[in-house]
Chains A and B, each alone.
Chain A
């Protein structure tokens, strides 16, 4: 079972990761999540400009045998969407923390990360 975890990122219970740089958050799904889903075939289109609350679902990720809702790890507005993953969904499986990033969000309130886990906590949470 694949379960790579990157330090310095925040993780949500629903297996999304968040990287913060200058008030902008990059969001994706964790290695555990992509492994559970299996070969990902489709990501529902995401609206740029959509305002989200922490925990709110904003897209679905579909594999052959499963579908997963993706939830906003923090509140904010979607400012950028990764176009590459639309055509090549395998990026989500092969490089979930890098090329397989999903969206960038302008964060409302960085304090909300207290509701997320750090890499150590997430590692405990998703221990085999």
Chain B
């Protein structure tokens, strides 16, 4: 299983070395055996997987096109709805929730022949940077089992690193794909805001939420993103910009590309991470890229801006969990309003409560202008920094995280310290630009380090081309 890529499965199916059902069976068995090491899967769905795989085999036998992801075993973060397959958001609140419909991304993946074998663990409602906020226990980093895999999409990063899925889907609001990708040594992509429909993604912060892929190489991540992208009438913010053939554009041609290295992004990073980024920059130069220092001056205000906006939006989005239409309901007796308060008090974990409280506070009377409105203005400045930068550079490179994977429990009692691990990823999220993490070596102890590549809106193709050339250099 661990050696497979989308391409190797396609070739194996074509050469009749194996069938899609055989690959799915092998993947399910391997995942079941390996999962206790990491706790990355919350659930395997063999019935659904084998049915999807059988459909691929049927199409291939009939000479039909089985799709770009034909027979590829994949995992889906448990904040993305799968019809009939339990989707928990890693929360007690949705412990028994069975979605009545599929997310658009899931529908498109399966229409392209993808075989979803299970749902992955994550921070509760995608709120966290270490995957320690899951109601179902933390995920362990497959590279170093005493360390976190990053978060919030820790399970989706871990399954790809562990080889228990070939590719996976995660969601990113402030770095929840890129940071775990960097911690686990895999590729993780946050596309342009609106590139992938959010329909069926349980909402955390609607103006910042993205669905994106994890993969073991850039080409696979480009293929998965291509399948999911495009206008969806079910998400009014999904963009109807054309979807280029991302995987087809990986021609290695990066000579003459200009790349910016933001000086503000090197300030908080620790020794090994800084060294790896400088080595990556040197490599990009030998590949024919011109790398120059740039400044994104509003960066220092990004964390405050992000945590005001995302908590404000979260406090509104999570109001729907009130014990009436779905999810947990407190068994304590009382009036309707007591039922709401008890249900939410018992059903949400500590970090989710913290964010609901913070979001409610910054939106409350007397504080709205000072916090929420101010943050929206600073968000505009952060976005403007990028607009200005992309007038002179094709791409920006930076660390993904200031430090590699930390130990489980190390930062769990200090939310401010934990929020700092998002410092380099939230700027791109606030601006809505495409960004990704691609492995660039290891720090002490063999811990992976990720290089972040950021491009202008809808320039995924350029971003993938650079990442692919870097990966193969």
Decide whether A and B assemble into one complex.
Answer: no
Chain A residues with CB under 8 Å of chain B are none
